[in-house]
Amino acid sequence: MFKAVDKGLIDKHNSSLISELNHDFEYLSKKFQTQNISIEEIKNKLKNFQVAVPTWGVGTGGTRFARFPGIGEPQNIYEKIEDCAVINDLVGITQKVSPHFPWDNVSDFKELKEFADDFNIGFDVVNSNTFQDQGDQLSFKHGSLTNADKAVREKAIKINIDAIEAGITLESKGLTVWVGDGGNFPGQISFSKSLERYIDSMKNIYTKLPNDWRVYLEHKPYEPAFYSTVISDWGTSYICAKELGEKALCLVDLGHHLPNTNIEMIVSRLIDLKKLGGFHFNDSKFGDDDLDAGSINPYELFLIFNELTEAQEAGKLTNVAYMIDQSHNVTDPIESLILSANEIATSYAKSLLVDQNLLKESQDNNDAVHCMQILKSAFNTDVSSLVAMARYENSNAIDPISVYRSLNYKNNKSKVRASAQGSTSGIV
């Protein structure tokens, strides 16, 4: 079902590109044959790969200093779903959308589900927003789930329970909890008490999870709290997930680590501890910059997928929630999300080229150079024709950006959508 983008237009673009694609794909197949790699097997895995798109990602982001709204921006969750449907019609691997409540203001969740169904869009994990006030006397200025005031904690717990209830109607299967709670000054909060309150609040939320649901705990070292954050790292996240129970897992947002952290090793640790639940993909240079996935350090993204693929092949991992979480300040978010989905699929494809048995053998032989060569040779392989062929066979666009640009989508939307109110600063 294609509703957002005319299938005829995709076919027209594809027909002008297919002969070159066939040629490149054929070349890669022959190359793989000599390496005993089944291109068909990898293509099938790519055709079934999925990564969710966040509703807040299709709106133009900003920094503390300013936000420069784009033209034809979506102003509500319905318009956001339309934009997500454009992305999915073109790339085919972003069928689900991850909403943020009550950021996404919805009065009738059943109606929203029907609206999204009509665009062939499903709902991924739901997110709860307890990092800005929601319009009454109880403020999150000094924290939400960890606030010293029980009434504020109860308000934050309720927001999470409401998000679960909304998610049930939307047929989601999980809740991601990120809290910005922490302190800006030494001594401002008790490290110990705030963690205790977090666990206590989360236990309340956990009891409301349906049996087939999971709750994902997202850590982050700093921002908005710049001295100490309650759920600052994967270790704290792991301790809390363990304390809560089987349905609680850790979520790794790539930007939520200090520069130079070995994120792929964290991924491996969480896999071995049976607590890796999901990802928020993005890239960064300095901190939580929320840059486009794979735009700065594609090798890191590949190394993360290498850990995931190794674990999957060893039967240690199933059911990981993949999502993009980035802020698009200077690009059309639709273009950024198309490219990011492609980067993520590309990293996954390259990880499938790694001969894990050979890597193990070389590790056992302490052959550091050969180990590095195995990884580098997979990473340096140009798999663009393979990823494009998977898209083509799924009836999506060989070159999604050029189809998108030919739509003149945002210009057309600017004539029917309300324009953004002002250009207030703020992240996303």
Residues lying near Mn ion in the complex (CB under 5 A) are found at 253, 280, 325
Residue 237 φ/ψ region, left for φ over 0, alpha for ψ in the -120 to 50 degree band, beta for the rest: alpha
**CB 212 to ligand PSV: min, Å:** 23
CA distance 150 to 156: 10
**CB 362 to ligand PSV: min, Å:** 37
Residue with smaller CB distance to ligand PSV, 56 or 305: 56
**CB 7 to ligand PSV: min, Å:** 33
CA distance 363 to 365: 5
Token pair, residue 47, equals 């055709």
Residue with smaller CB distance to ligand PSV, 57 or 294: 57
DSSP element (H, E) containing 322: strand 321-324
**CB 147 to ligand PSV: min, Å:** 18
CA distance 358 to 338: 34
Place of tokens 């663009």: 384
**CB 253 to ligand PSV: min, Å:** 5
State the binding partner of 428 from Mn ion, ligand PSV, none, CB within 5 to 8 A by kind. Answer: ligand PSV
**CB 285 to Mn ion: min, Å:** 17
**CB 203 to ligand PSV: min, Å:** 21
Residues found near ligand PSV in the complex (CB under 6 A): 56, 127, 178, 218, 220, 253, 280, 288, 325, 428
Residue with smaller CB distance to ligand PSV, 28 or 250: 250
CA distance 162 to 278: 22
User: Do residues 97 and 54 lie in contact, with contact meaning Cβ atoms separated by under 8 Å?
Assistant: yes
**CB 96 to ligand PSV: min, Å:** 16
Q: By C-alpha distance, which of 289, 371, 379, 285 is closest to 330?
A: 289
Place of tokens 């997928």: 305
Residue with smaller CB distance to ligand PSV, 55 or 346: 55
**CB 218 to ligand PSV: min, Å:** 5
Token pair, residue 312, equals 């999957």
**CB 275 to ligand PSV: min, Å:** 18
State the binding partner of 300 from Mn ion, ligand PSV, none, CB within 5 to 8 A by kind. Answer: none
State the binding partner of 399 from ligand PSV, Mn ion, none, CB within 5 to 8 A by kind. Answer: none
Residue with smaller CB distance to ligand PSV, 259 or 315: 259
Residue with smaller CB distance to ligand PSV, 218 or 343: 218
Place of tokens 């109110």: 421
In three-state secondary structure terms, 96 is strand
User: Do residues 378 and 350 lie in contact, with contact meaning Cβ atoms separated by under 8 Å?
Assistant: yes
State the binding partner of 79 from Mn ion, ligand PSV, none, CB within 5 to 8 A by kind. Answer: none
Residue with smaller CB distance to ligand PSV, 14 or 282: 282
Residue with smaller CB distance to ligand PSV, 101 or 392: 101
Residue with smaller CB distance to ligand PSV, 210 or 426: 426
Round to the nearest angstrom and report the end-to-end CA distance of the chain: 30
Pairing mode of beta strands 182-183, 228-229: antiparallel
Q: Which residue is nearest to ligand PSV (CB)?
A: 178
State the binding partner of 332 from Mn ion, ligand PSV, none, CB within 5 to 8 A by kind. Answer: none
DSSP letter (8 states) at residue 67: B
**Where are the strands (E) in 139-199, listed by range?**
174-177, 182-183
- Which stretches of 35-66 are DSSP H helices? 39-48
State the binding partner of 127 from ligand PSV, Mn ion, none, CB within 5 to 8 A by kind. Answer: ligand PSV
Residue with smaller CB distance to Mn ion, 28 or 179: 179
Neighbours of 25 (CB within 10 A): 19
DSSP letter (8 states) at residue 142: T
State the binding partner of 220 from ligand PSV, Mn ion, none, CB within 5 to 8 A by kind. Answer: ligand PSV
- DSSP sequence for 312-334: HHTT-----EEEE---BSSS-HH
User: Do residues 250 and 241 lie in contact, with contact meaning Cβ atoms separated by under 8 Å?
Assistant: yes
